[in-house]
Amino acid sequence: MAPLPATPQEPRSRRPRKDTPRPSPRPARVRHQHSAGGIVYRRRPSPNGVEEDVEIALIATGKGSRWQLPKGRVRPGESSVQAAVREIREETGLEAQVEAYLTTLQIEYWNTYRRRVPEKVVKDVDIYLLRAVGGALNDSSREVDGVAWCTPSEALARLTFESERECVRLAMERWR
């Protein structure tokens, strides 16, 4: 039998002591994405019949909790312009023609859905100004919970993200 130590020892614990440095958490994975979409508009005669009112197509996602511009990923071999037109058709039912490039948004967020370690997503989104030339606004896409034509001022009030409100302001400058 081994002799007892002269001084009492602390019981061993599985938890590190407070003064023991803890290992750093696993570094988060960073995923880069390239998306495209934009402001799809139509001109409607105003009630006085002289001027035309502009309306912008918006989509709702997140069970209707987020109003935003239609946009989505650029597929391999596809240009940003092609992706914008395709995504708008898929998400809104509208055929649209690109009139101008407006800006590129850089969006960063943490993807925690079904992940043990959160993944940081850095997304560049090319935003275009597009005129609706056909189709009918609808929410038949499984990614979309609702759609609406809005005046620019209604869109500014309804859009969830400030960066997309800024895109509407850029479009408004072009319409003046």
Q: For the domain that residue 133 is a member of, what is the CATH number?
A: 3.90.79.10
Q: Is residue 144 part of a domain?
A: yes
Confidence (pLDDT) at 67: 98
Q: Is residue 56 part of a domain?
A: yes
Q: Is 117 exposed, middle or buried (0-12, 13-18, 19+ CB in 10 A)?
A: exposed
pLDDT band, residue 26 (cuts 50/70/90): low
pLDDT band, residue 25 (cuts 50/70/90): low
Give 120-153 pLDDT, tens digit per residue: 999 999 999 999 999 999 999 999 999 999 999 9
Nearest to 101 by CA among 127, 76, 75, 125: 127
Give 95-113 pLDDT, tens digit per residue: 999 999 999 999 998 988 8
Q: Is residue 85 part of a domain?
A: yes
Confidence (pLDDT) at 76: 97
Residue 143, SS3 per DSSP: coil
Structural domain total, the chain: 1
Beta partners for residue 33, in sequence order: 123
pLDDT band, residue 117 (cuts 50/70/90): confident
Q: Is residue 155 part of a domain?
A: yes
Q: Is residue 13 part of a domain?
A: no
Q: Is residue 9 part of a domain?
A: no
Q: Please report which residue ranges of the chain form alpha helices under DSSP H.
A: 80-92, 152-158, 162-175
* Torsion angle defined by CA atoms of residues 41, 133, 84 and 57, in that order, rounded to the nearest 10 degrees: 30
Confidence (pLDDT) at 32: 94
Give CA–CA dist 60/92, Å, rounded.
Answer: 10
Give 34-82 pLDDT, tens digit per residue: 999 999 999 987 777 666 689 999 999 999 999 999 999 999 999 999 9
pTM across the whole model: 0.80
Q: Which domain holds residue 163?
A: 35-175
